[in-house]
Structure 1
Amino acid sequence: MNDRIAPLTATPDLLALRDRALAETSVNGLAFVMANDLYPLLHFRQAVVAAYAGQRLNTLCISGLAKPTEDSPYLIWLQSTLHWLRPHLDSAREPIWLARAELALPGALAEGWRDWWPAGVWCVPLAKADQPPLGVLVFQLDAPPDERLQQALAGVWATWSYCWAALQKRHKSHFWQPGRRHAALAAVAVAALLCIPIRQTALAPAEVVSLDAQIISAPIDGVVAALQVRPHEVVAANAALFRLDDTTLRSRAEVLAKEVAVADAELGTTSQRAFDHSQSMSELSLLKGRALQRRAELAAVEAQLKRTQVLAPRAGVAIYSDPNDWLGKPVVTGERIMQLADPAQPAMRIQLAVSDAITLAPGAEVKLFLSAFPLSPLSGRIKETSYQAKVTDDGIAAYRLLATIEGPTENARLGLHGTAKLYGERVSLGYYLFRRPLSALRAWSGL
């Protein structure tokens, strides 16, 4: 008997064991203390700390192992054995000794006990008074400890139970673990949120243009000699816009004028001789036709000379790029050089990218947030949309939309840029959130 009690005086004070348990900040840390710190007193072969988790006993720590290998044969057998021993442990409130000879173990469990465990194990349940058990300590011993040692350790069991309950309660307060009912309610709530109808919208770059803009193109082939208005300059009706180089046409007109004079002189001479010579009568018709041809050619060239000067057909604002981009540039008949826009009828020209396209009915609502006036958006409605997408200057395939501007237009100056927000039909929130990911998935998978 004295040999059993002697280790008490040779081991660290039991109060030190309690203090170390109180200093732990996690259940796993406390399990490590419980599995290893009592070896100087009990001299066990191995200690196992298991925690109750529903209908299972999960192994938290094994003495001498930093991290047990979950797929090891011993740990698999240990989990099965703890599950089989649970009916003996659930009703125990005090430490109990379980001997292998007294238990009717199944064949596989009995064989593993003979290989890995001694003749018996000392099981210490850990629980606070009148509360469900928290876990169990399993000490592998050749014989149960002395009664006086068990009484001395009773305070240690109480301290460990208290610390375990406190740490578990704090863990639950910081990390809420929802149950199946909460998960089902959350799924129903998410499904209900995804069914909420919401207005489908899209953002696209836009520019303020004129709803009534007339294209001014080159009337004939030539080279731009001068631009007589500045970009975005207000011009009156019949004001000079630009002029084409007329050097070639003037030279051609001078040559044709001389050819007309020669043809007239030949026609006059032949007419005088026709009274005396019958041969001159036959040449008279040919010379008259030649004279008329030269006059027609001269008239055509003079008409082209008049068209080298282009005038404004009406009052408006001249819209085009930098004049240096046009000076000296050869142009062909019909090539657009500028636009003559009516500033009293502003509109929005929107470039909606194909990837952002949504269903837009005629008359759909549009808001334009100008970069110059971000706090004063312009409101309007879709007037027309292009049938086919075209590549923009930025290399993006986009649809061209034209929208009217309703309400005050004092900020709608031609040429201002901004971002247009387009409002489509109402769809569910789920469709609104997952439309683009689903489109990308279908494009990638081909489904």
Structure 2
Amino acid sequence: MTVNRPLPDPQLLLRLDALRDKAMAAETLGALAFSMANDLYPLLPFHQALVFEQSKLGFELLCVSGLAKPSEDSPYLVWLRRASRWLAECLTEPRATWLTLDNTAPPEDVLEGWAEWWPTGLWCIPLYAPGGNRLGVLVLLLEQPPAPLLFQQLDGLVRTWSYCWAALTRHRHRGRWRPSRRQVLLVLLVGAGLLLVPVRQTALAPAQIVSRQAQIVSSPIDGVIAQVLVRPNQPVAAGTPLFSLDETTLRSRAEVLGKEVAVADAELQAASQRAFDNPQSKSELTLLHGRAQQRRAELAAVQAQLRRTQVLAPAAGVAVFSDPNDWLGKPVSTGERIMQVADPAQPAMLIQLAVADAIALEPGAEVTLFLTAYPLNPLKGQVLETSYQAKPGDDGVVAYRLLASIEQHSEHARLGLHGTAKLYGGRVMLGYYLLRRPLATLRAWSGW
């Protein structure tokens, strides 16, 4: 005898096919869970749908129908975390299960929340991977159990959900590698061994090229600079005029002193003539003679200053100073530095090593200078001298002053070029090299 089964509704088949297409189009597990919790409502009206993911600790909530992102601090979701642990204990069969208060015995805290938030029953649909591992569960909150025929019609959709869930989970965990305990210990041993490897201690510091033979040219007297007769970095020979001071005040002073000398000589001559017949005038000769000598000494001093108003180059070299316009008309005092005359044939490195980066260096330590203008042509040298005391530089950083030689004369070693110097100290362990500054900071902070 043949039993005629009713054919499924064509609209139902179309809706199931659309749900399968949405599941296959999901690119993330979150998108698949959102479709499971919300798109099934037209076929099976429910109060609420919950999607849980199986984890080592139990169920983890992925999605709640009607919510884009559940708020984890809400009272309902706080209670739902406790209820999910009870659900994980109840769902042991690999088939859909209908749970009510009549066929289960939930604990007291779950029972109170069920009475407040859940309807009569829960239809729990587990999802399993092809290997038999449970992936998650879909929980539908219903007033009455669904018809058995409906579950048969949803069986294909549930298998599609399981397939997509397994594929997305496998894609999410693809490439994740967890080392074993032996591998972790091996890596730690290799790392500890690397920390004991001896390496060269180095430090970086700003530097510039200067001359080892540079003579400071300062103002010989107090005055005002009238002219700067050379340009910056201009080659000069010994005796070349560099700059001159204003002579107006000195010439006026010399003219006044010249007249005072003439007056003193006239007074001395008149007193000498009167001394033959006037004993009182004879006693004044010593005083007038001393006054005349004083005026001549003052005149000679002013004339000597006039001869020093034009400053000459003490030796052959290059005039090193800033813009001449910065000096024109500027008052200067005796000994104030104006410029340098440097010998470009004897270049050297002037290094400003910050106190925070200082390492143990001795004369003869190797230095490599990477010029900003020529980074591919480093200059080699050795430390010649180091300052005992650190002083603030123009940038306010307290640093030691180091002077290093340049081994081979290069056309790139031009005076005034700046760059970064790498200084090489002694050999230390790699662990000390990496932790030197953190250890120094820790000791300074802790006082230990």
Q: Give me the TM-score of the superposition, normalised by structure 1.
A: 0.76
Deviations 1:306-357 (A, max 9, x none): 4344444433333333444444544332223332323333223345567x65
User: How much is the aligned-residue C-alpha RMSD, in angstroms?
Assistant: 4.4
Is the contact made by 2:254 and 2:299 (CA closer than 8 Å) also made in structure 1?
A: no
In the alignment, the residues of structure 2 paired with residue 288 and residue 207 of structure 1 have an alpha-carbon distance, to the nearest angstrom, of 60
- Partner SS state of residue 84, structure 1: helix
1:57 maps to 59
**Paired residues for 1:73-112 under 5 Å:** 73-90=75-92, 92-112=93-113
Distance in structure 2 (CA, Å) of the matches to 1:433 and 1:286: 76
Q: Distance in 2 between matches of 1:25 and 1:340?
A: 74
AA aligned to 2:23 is: A
What residue is the counterpart of 2:126 in the other structure? 125
Is residue 211–residue 404 contact of structure 1 (8 Å, CA) maintained in 2? no
1:445 maps to what in 2?
A: none
SS in 2 for 1:105: coil
Greater Cα shift, 303-312 or 80-89: 303-312
Supply the AA of the counterpart residue of 1:60: L
Give distance in 1, aligned partners of 2:84 and 2:151. 23
On the 8 A contact 1:231/1:321 being kept in 2, the answer is yes
In structure 1, runs of 5+ residues without a counterpart are 443-447
CA distance in 2, matches of 1:277, 1:62: 134
Give the aligned partner of residue 258 of structure 1: 262
1:132 deviates by 0.7
Match of 1:70 among 63, 69, 72: 72
Alpha-carbon offset, residue 125 of structure 1: 1.9
- The answer (yes or no) to whether the contact 1:207–1:418 under 8 Å persists in 2 is yes
Shift of 1:73: 3.7
Equivalent residues in 2 for 1:11-50, closer than 5 Å? 12-13=12-13, 14-50=16-52
Aligned 8 A contact 2:242 2:313 in 1: yes
Structure 2: distance between partners of 1:142 and 1:327? 99
Deviations 1:139-160 (A, max 9, x none): 3445544444433333222222
- The 3-state SS of whatever aligns with 1:421 is strand
Residue 173 of structure 1: SS of its match in structure 2?
A: coil
For 1:378 and 1:345, locate their aligned partners in 2 and report how far apart those are by CA, in whole Å: 14
Once residues 179 and 58 of structure 2 are traced to their aligned partners in structure 1, the CA distance between those partners, rounded to angstroms, is: 17
Output the CA distance in 2 between the equivalents of 1:147 and 1:327: 105
Residues 323 and 106 (structure 1), Cα distance of their counterparts in 2 relative to 1, 3 Å cut = closer
Deviation of 1:422 (Å): 3.9
Measured in 2, the distance between the counterparts of 1:150 and 1:185 equals 52
Matches within 5 A, 1:292-441: 292-351=293-352, 357-359=357-359, 361-363=361-363, 364-382=365-383, 383-385=385-387, 387-390=389-392, 392=394, 396-399=396-399, 401-411=401-411, 415-423=415-423, 428=431, 430-431=434-435
Taking a change above 3 Å as real, the CA distance of residues 87 and 333 of structure 1, as seen in their structure-2 partners, is closer
CA shift for structure 1 position 165: 0.9
Q: Secondary structure at the match of 2:113?
A: helix
State the 1:133 CA deviation. Answer: 0.7
- Change in Cα spacing, 1:162 to 1:261, as seen in structure 2 (3 Å) is same
Q: Secondary structure at the match of 1:101?
A: coil
1:167 maps to what in 2? Answer: 168
Matches of 1:144 and 1:71, distance apart in 2: 31
Taking structure 1 as reference, are residues 55 and 133 closer, same or farther at Cα in structure 2, changes over 3 Å only? same
Bigger shift: residues 277-286 or 411-420: 277-286
Kindly tell me: are residues 279 and 402 of structure 1, through their superposed partners in 2, closer, same or farther at Cα, counting changes over 3 Å?
same
Provide the secondary structure at the position in 1 that maps to 2:134.
Answer: coil
Residue 161 (structure 1) shift = 1.2
- Taking the aligned partners of 1:129 and 1:326, their CA distance within structure 2 comes to 89
Picking from 262, 269, 273, the partner of 2:273 is: 269
Unaligned 5+ residue runs, structure 2? none
Aligned to 2:105, the other structure's residue is in SS state coil
State whether residues 259 and 294 of structure 1, in contact with CA within 8 Å, keep that contact through their aligned partners in structure 2.
Answer: no
The separation in 2 between residues aligned to 1:418 and 1:18, in whole angstroms, is 69
Q: Which amino acid aligns with 2:57?
A: Q
Mapped partners of 2:324, 2:361: distance in 1? 39
Deviation at 1:84, TM superposition (A): 1.6
